[in-house]
Amino acid sequence: MDGALLILIFLIAVALLFDFLNGLHDAANSIATIVATRVLPPVYAVGWAAFFNFIAFLFFGLHVADTIGRGIIDPTVISDQVIFGALMGAISWNVITWLAGIPSSSSHALIGGLLGAGIAKAGTGAVVVAGVTKTVSAIFLSPAVGFSLALVLVLIVSWAFVKVNPSTADKAFRRMQFVSASAYSLGHGGNDAQKTMGIIAVLLFSRAPAGSEFVVPFWVVITCQAAIALGTLFGGWRIVHTMGSRITRLSPQQGFCAETGGAITLFLATGMGIPVSTTHTITGAIVGVGAARRASAVRWGVARSIVTAWFITMPAAAAIGALFYWIGGAFLT
């Protein structure tokens, strides 16, 4: 078999490994609230989330894939080494944070790895400033929007159910959480799987004849959705515990509001082609429902450590991505 083809297959396999680890690492984002409120046991919750992760391609366009493929690093400087460095930077950081039980962002780990490897090859001139600015802005905006929407939803449903028997309301929200958890899993699959699609598509583009257009083949779409769904099936129990119980304790009503607020945020971001962090989004929403009850209901120390991880993810992954770019030069050229 041709050596170049072997390298291509290897890099696609590494990309799908990242996608699998993304589902594994971010499974907590989809199921933490529904598990914490005991609406579903973990084994059923991951299956539920994996299904909606997989079918997300039926509901969303490929705007996020386009941003990752062309909006972070100039696609003309993309090479096998750059893709290898980007993926290994993201995978390495995901494994480190997964082992530590830290809900960091797989999305920003990938973007950091891509930036590190791209800059290692072509300097800062390779950076697409507009795309990076949009993505970095989302670090602050997605949790803020999730927080605000969840807070407003808590107030609305509290008013709407004020005269309803608590037992009846609890049963209603347990049923409604199936809908909200499905919506959040759909948003997670729609935004996160597209990041790997963008990586594979720009890798294929870098090998295409001059004048070719950037496209995302359907086999890439379906394979990436399957990989992230499979990763979700294997769960991420350490992070589920952090997201589902250590930040604040959740009732079914609060779980519904957090998931719904997070899902709306993800739908909006995916529609605008912004690769946001599902971790950031659901964390903001969970803090929002906790704060709606009272500020002391939120374990701010845990939330602070999570926020700290957000800020170090991109530079840490970038440094690792640059290192693997140079390592990749030893056997990819």
Tens-digit pLDDT profile for residues 177-213:
888 888 988 998 889 889 999 999 999 998 888 777 8
Mean residue pLDDT of the chain comes to 83
* pLDDT single digits (tens) 102-120: 767 788 889 999 999 999 9
Given a contact cutoff of 8 angstroms between Cβ atoms, the answer to whether 156 and 23 are in contact is: no
- Whole-angstrom distance, CA of residue 123 vs CA of residue 165: 63
- CA distances to 195, 263, 288 from 303, rounded to whole Å, are 26, 20, 11
* pLDDT single digits (tens) 198-254: 999 999 998 888 777 889 999 999 999 999 988 887 765 555 555 444 545 677 888
- What's the longest Cα–Cα distance across the chain? 71
* pLDDT (0 to 100) of residue 249: 62
* pLDDT (0 to 100) of residue 295: 56
* pTM of the shown model: 0.86
What's the count of helices (H) and strands (E) in the chain, helices before strands?
A: 12, 0
Q: To 5 degrees, how large is the angle CA 134–CA 139–CA 144? A: 110
What are 241's two structure tokens?
Answer: 């515990």
